């Protein structure tokens, strides 16, 4: 578990750097590509939106551990590629999953289905999210669920069930999904797999038992608290540039519809129980836009209305080395993130000019800043 200080910092909106040793692969941080806001991927089964993502962002099967689970000999027939993206201002993670397999198993209506299983813990709380294989360390109070007359220490009780998938989420994605939901949200808040909190589109040309290439694009919304009673009682994870999130996936490969034996169980984590223990997840960094042209952007927040004290924040894209703020009241500042007290009430035209190696850019906001 993270310290109370780190958790409090996350709630306050700070960019949190997790102690890497608390998660899997402490020497490795994977990257999440930032899409520009005018090039958000469309979930339509046409994958050209992803062409702009460099190969350096691809997580291949060479990064995954063959867990196998003792079922059969490790499956050597898979070829897996994954890209992950995000868009600044949207609390969504976008995925492109590509897999080649010699035998696609998806004819049965239940859980027996070739699977891409994604687990996300965006606020780095760590700890168990599913009780399977973790009943010895399961502590329901970690996720703050409501009290129950049933014993929280007893697996299967109402309180115990209520905790599943609340503080971190597991998406058991069917590949392909045919005549069934695209994913099983493993836990009590099953609504997280539904639009607008998630969406998916796939492409394939094979039938069950055949070989071929499968492609899937989708997005999910990570939650600090995904309440079983619905989104109205839930808290989305706030995705911020340069922040770390815990994220991982498993590929389960079935090759025999007559049994539940798996021919392959591949995990991005070195720890097989990562599907239910967020502390076993690797870390990903939400990257800035690559090769971004300089563009002035800024935001503001009233700190004290009685004193008309306003905090301004530079949100510019690209490399800025100089800032000039015109507050619209005859005063200015060259700080990057100034705090300014307006002498009189009013509605102000406030302007930020930024300079950098790539030139200059200006952003004015007309009457956004209004003080009484």
Q: Assign 46 to helix, strand or coil.
A: coil
What is d(CA 204, CA 215) in angstroms, rounded to the nearest whole number?
A: 7
What is d(CA 90, CA 36) in angstroms, rounded to the nearest whole number?
A: 11
What is d(CA 199, CA 221) in angstroms, rounded to the nearest whole number?
A: 10
Domains detected in the chain: 4-130+165-286 (2.60.40.1190), 298-371 (2.60.40.10)
Mean per-residue pLDDT over the chain, rounded: 86
User: Is it the case that residue 227 has pLDDT exceeding 80?
Assistant: yes
What is d(CA 297, CA 294) in angstroms, rounded to the nearest whole number?
A: 10
Q: Is 14 or 244 the better-scoring residue by pLDDT? A: 244
For residues 245-262, b (16+ Cβ closer than 10 Å) or e, as one string? bbbbbbbbbbbeeeeeeb
Neighbours of 14 (CB within 10 A): 12
- pLDDT tens-place string over residues 99-149: 999 999 999 999 999 999 999 999 998 888 886 655 544 444 433 343 343
pTM: 0.80
Quick one: average pLDDT of 193-204? 98
pLDDT of residue 22: 67
**Confidence category of residue 154, pLDDT binned at 50, 70, 90:** very low
pLDDT of residue 131: 67
Quick one: average pLDDT of 269-280? 90
How many degrees, rounded to 5, is the angle at CA 323 between CA 320 and CA 327? 145
What is d(CA 351, CA 324) in angstroms, rounded to the nearest whole number?
A: 8
User: Is it the case that residue 332 has pLDDT exceeding 60?
Assistant: yes
Is there a contact between 345 and 337 (Cβ–Cβ < 8 Å)? Answer: no
- pLDDT tens-place string over residues 71-96: 444 456 789 999 999 999 999 999 99
pLDDT of residue 21: 42
User: Is it the case that residue 257 has pLDDT exceeding 50?
Assistant: yes
User: Is it the case that residue 13 has pLDDT exceeding 60?
Assistant: no
Q: Residue count of the chain, please give it.
A: 372
**Least reliable range by pLDDT among 49-53, 165-169, 244-248:** 165-169
Helical H segments across the chain, by residue range: 4-11, 158-162
pLDDT of residue 273: 85
User: Is it the case that residue 10 has pLDDT exceeding 80?
Assistant: no
Quick one: average pLDDT of 228-239? 95
């Amino acid at each position: 578990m993270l310290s109370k200080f780190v958790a409090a910092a996350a709630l306050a909106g700070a960019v949190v750097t997790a102690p890497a040793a608390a998660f899997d692969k402490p020497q490795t941080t994977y990257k999440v590509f930032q899409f520009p806001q005018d090039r958000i991927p469309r979930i339509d089964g046409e994958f050209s939106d992803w062409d702009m993502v460099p190969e350096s962002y691809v997580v291949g099967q060479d990064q995954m551990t063959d867990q196998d689970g003792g079922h059969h000999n490790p499956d050597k027939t898979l070829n897996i590629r994954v890209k992950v993206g995000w868009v600044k201002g949207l609390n969504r993670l976008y995925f492109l999953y590509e897999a080649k397999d010699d035998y696609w198993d998806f004819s049965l209506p239940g859980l027996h289905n070739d699977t891409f299983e994604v687990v996300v813990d965006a606020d780095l709380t760590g700890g168990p999210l599913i009780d399977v294989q973790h009943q010895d360390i399961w502590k329901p109070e970690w996720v703050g669920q409501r009290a129950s007359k049933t014993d929280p220490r007893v697996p299967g009780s109402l309180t115990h069930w209520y905790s599943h998938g609340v503080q971190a989420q597991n998406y058991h994605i069917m590949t392909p999904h045919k005549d069934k939901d695209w994913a099983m949200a493993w836990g009590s808040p099953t609504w997280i797999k539904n639009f607008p909190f998630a969406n998916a589109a796939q492409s394939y040309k094979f039938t069950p038992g055949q070989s071929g290439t499968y492609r899937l694009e989708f997005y999910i919304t990570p939650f600090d608290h995904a309440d079983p009673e619905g989104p109205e009682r839930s808290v989305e994870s706030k995705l911020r540039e340069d922040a770390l999130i815990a994220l991982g996936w498993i590929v389960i490969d079935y090759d025999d519809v007559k049994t539940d034996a798996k021919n392959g169980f591949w995990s991005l984590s070195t720890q097989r129980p990562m599907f239910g223990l967020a502390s076993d997840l690797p870390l990903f960094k939400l990257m800035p836009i690559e090769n971004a042209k300089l563009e002035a952007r800024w935001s503001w927040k009233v700190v004290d209305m009685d004193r008309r004290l306003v905090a301004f924040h530079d949100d510019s894209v690209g490399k800025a080395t100089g800032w000039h703020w015109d507050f619209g009241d005859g005063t200015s500042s060259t700080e990057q993130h100034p705090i300014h007290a307006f002498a009189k009430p009013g509605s102000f035209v406030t302007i930020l000019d930024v300079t950098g190696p790539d030139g200059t850019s200006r952003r004015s906001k007309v009457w956004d800043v209004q003080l009484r």
